[in-house]
Structure 1
Amino acid sequence: MDLKTEQISFDQLISELSTRLINSEPAETYECIEEVIAAIGDYADADRCYVFEFNDSLEHMTNTHEWVRTDYQAHISDLQAVKTADLPWFFEQIKTYHKCIVDNIDFLPPEATAEKAEFEREQIKSVICVGLVANQHLLGFVGCDMVRQERQWTPEEIRRLRLVADMVANTLERQRTYSELIHTQRALEKANRMLQAQVAQDGLTGIANRRAFDERITNEIQRASRHKTPLALLIIDIDQFKPYNDHYGHLQGDQALKSVADAMFDQLQRNTDFIARYGGEEFVAVISATNEEKTKESMNQLLEAVRNLKIKHEPSEVEPYLTISIGGYIHKPRADEDTEDLIARMISKADSALYRAKSDGRNRGYLDT
């Protein structure tokens, strides 16, 4: 193959690889860059071809891609996070001129002592590096090494390496932009989840709020209707909480609300259980896939959990400590029932049962079936 034909063939290959890089998914980019440096290395008859990337502060450079001719030593593993200050002359060439061309390391300037020692360590006789620049930012460099013999780098080889550098630089910039977009997207998704959680969470007690209950009860009714299973609704009220607040103050009243909410939340831990603050000192619970016996057992557990807190309540006419009253209603939803009407009826039935519990002395629960 003559030189002109070889150049045309190389240009066609680079054009194809450029198209692949432009259209590649992020996961394919690494493989595409490997193919690009292999192509330039083979075309230039180099012994190594590689890509280095700088960190954001330009204090370190890392060998991220390397092609090595058969039977020659690779160095990518020992060229990680190399300090640019350790190779000051080389770094200044790349930073200032966006290139470093050395036909023979024996003719390096006196200020390149560190660079000559590194080249000798890697058995490099000639080297050419071209900066990776995108959007006026220096991202790194692409380079070729000669180990077998010295090399007079031709203008054509320099031009083609610049072409490869531009391709790689634009690809890395696109990759970084993509990564930043993904990071931003994930941050926004996390913030949105937190916001949604806050919207559905009671600010004082930390459990679900009225809005979350409205959504949950609708979903549970629809699920119970599909599976033909009973659904229980409980309305829970802290007994004589106004006298408690008046006697102990609102700060202690808030703490009591938190403690009661925590105690009841701990009792309702199944995936099908749900408890929310309904407003003031009133709470509401939804218990799915249950029956009358299990629902009464859950009500007793809630009553006992609050009693066990032993929160003093001197002005109470019920007990010397804080207690709750519970009204419940259990029902098996049918497909032909209107959800909104059923919710209103369940709340009304549970509220009537709560009124009965209060009328009979509080600190107890009643279940309407």
Structure 2
Amino acid sequence: MKRCFEDLCATMDKLGVPRESKWRGLILYMRSIRDYEFLTAEQRERTQDLVMQVLRRKDFSDKAFQKLLRDNEAIINDRWRHKLTETLQDTAQLIKQFQTLLQRRKNDVQDLEVMTLETIHSDQPMEKMVAEIQNGFQKIEGMLQSDLETIVAMSMTDELTKIYNRRALDSFMHRAITNSLSCQTPLAMVFLDIDNFKQFNDKYGHLVGDQALITVAGLLKACINDQERGVGCTIFPARFGGEEFVLIMPGASDSEAVSFAEKVRKRIQDYNFLIRNGSGEVVYSGVKITISAGVAELHAYCGHSPNSATLIEAADRALYQAKKDGRNKVVLYQGNGVPET
């Protein structure tokens, strides 16, 4: 250990890193981040790039130190900040929809009250009055049951794309992984991300970006319908967040998942997007969007105790590799080895 530390110090001396503990401590910490599994592969890569930039510039001023701290913190917090924003937006939308349901049922209950009083003060036979009042309460009960089902569906559906959301994904993954482990059946995950989506939003605007997300979700569902009709399998699609989507494929091997991901990639690549203005007129046609995809299989390379976290991490690593390889690709996670394209 002492020899290792001495070698590290000698390397930092050669690189011109000041002997001040704050610089060496920060660089050692940032280098160790590459082993932090709770961060994505992209976050770890960006952190290492920061370190290399500092070493190349050889600017070890206090100002550079503070900037490095801020940049590193931004990288680590970036994904969580994005997820928090989306969660707050989803919650606000659910509250709005729930308030609408409450107001609707408040009016229905008031109508029931009026009907009940009118029935009681009528000259109808007792049996008929009781039947009418009973029917009124049964109608309200049915409406409330329907509302409950609607609320559950809303809480599990992405408001924009109308496919499952992250909450539904977590619930399904837990059940699917438990079943896969107990029955020793395969389970594959496809992690998809729209390429260069930020640039797309910057060029066409966020409203058009939302339409692109809706269209991609629709193409995913079309591919799934074709696949399920062909081989009778079940594929669970969800919006993971932002421009990221996830497909869970119970019973599918890694090769089957790669094959399906390729079909999805090609279908989206070949699709001609139309962009319309507020009046519905086509202002751009033939706009192309591509996706990158990472594939992982639960039992293959997810460790001795595979779970949802290790499966997501494996698929995310493969997705990041697809991005590094030039985008518009499907990559299979191969453990610590080189991912297979």
Query: What TM-score do you get using the length of structure 2 for normalisation?
Result: 0.54
In structure 1, the partner of 2:188 is: 232
- 1:165-219 Cα deviation digits (max 9, x unpaired): xxxx1x3333223222221111111111111111111111111111111111111
**Number of residue pairs matched?**
201
Superposition map of 1:261-340 within 5 A: 261-269=217-225, 270=228, 272-311=234-273, 321-332=288-299
Task: Give, in whole Å, the separation in 2 of the partners of 1:176 and 1:364.
Answer: 64
* Alpha-carbon distance in structure 2 between the residues aligned to 1:138 and 1:345: 70
CA distance in 2, matches of 1:185, 1:332: 46
| Separation (CA, whole Å) in 1 of partners of 2:266 and 2:124 | 66
Q: Which residue of 1 aligns with 2:123?
A: 138
What is aligned with 1:96?
Answer: none
Aligned counterparts of 1:344 and 1:215: Cα–Cα separation in 2? 13
1:363 counterpart (323, 328, 332): 328
CA contact (8 A) 2:298 2:307 kept: no
Gaps of 5+ in 1: 1-55, 58-132, 141-168, 314-318
Matched residue, 1:343: 308
User: 1:134 Cα deviation (Å)?
Assistant: 6.8
User: What are the superposed Cα offsets for residues 309-351 of structure 1, whole Å, 9 maximum, x if unpaired?
Assistant: 22389xxxxx972100000111249xxx76xx61110011000
Match of 1:178 among 102, 124, 134: 134
Aligned partner of 1:205 among 153, 161, 172: 161
The residue aligned with 1:354 is 319
Deviations 1:280-305, CA, capped at 9 Å, x for gaps: 11111101111233211111111012
For the 8 Å contact 1:329–1:350, the answer to whether it is kept is yes
Bigger proportion of residues as strand: 1
Alignment RMSD (CA, Å): 2.8
Structure showing greater relative contact order (alpha-carbon pairs closer than 8 Å, 6 or more residues apart):
2
Specify the alignment match of 2:28 in structure 1. none
Return closer, same or farther for 1:176/1:225 CA change in 2, 3 Å cut-off.
farther
Runs of 4+ with deviation above 4 angstroms: none
Partner Cα distance (2:159, 2:202) in 1: 22
Kept in 2: contact 1:312–1:321 (CA 8 A):
no
In the TM superposition, 1:7-26 aligns within 5 A as none
The 1:208/1:178 distance shift into structure 2, 3 A limit, reads: same
- What secondary structure does 1:302 align onto? helix
Which whole-Å CA distance do the structure 1 matches of 2:265 and 2:119 have between them?
67
Residues 47-58 of structure 1: pairs in structure 2 closer than 5 A = none
**1:251 and 1:183 mapped to 2: Cα distance?**
40
| 1:263-292 Cα deviation digits (max 9, x unpaired) | 012112336211111111111110111123
Distance, in Å, in 2 between the alignment partners of 1:281 and 1:259 is: 12
Compute the displacement of 1:308 (Å). Answer: 2.3
What TM-score do you get using the length of structure 1 for normalisation? 0.50
Partners of 2:287 and 2:133 in 1: CA distance? 64
Residue 216 (str. 1) matches residue 138 (str. 2): no
Q: Using a 3 Å threshold, how does the CA distance of structure 1 residues 358 and 134 change in structure 2: closer, same or farther?
A: closer
Q: After TM superposition, list the pairs within 5 Å mapping 1:2-81 onto structure 2.
A: none
Q: Any idea what the Cα deviations from partners look like across 1:105-152, whole Å, max 9, x if unmatched?
A: xxxxxxxxxxxxxxxxxxxxxxxxxxxx97322225xxxxxxxxxxxx
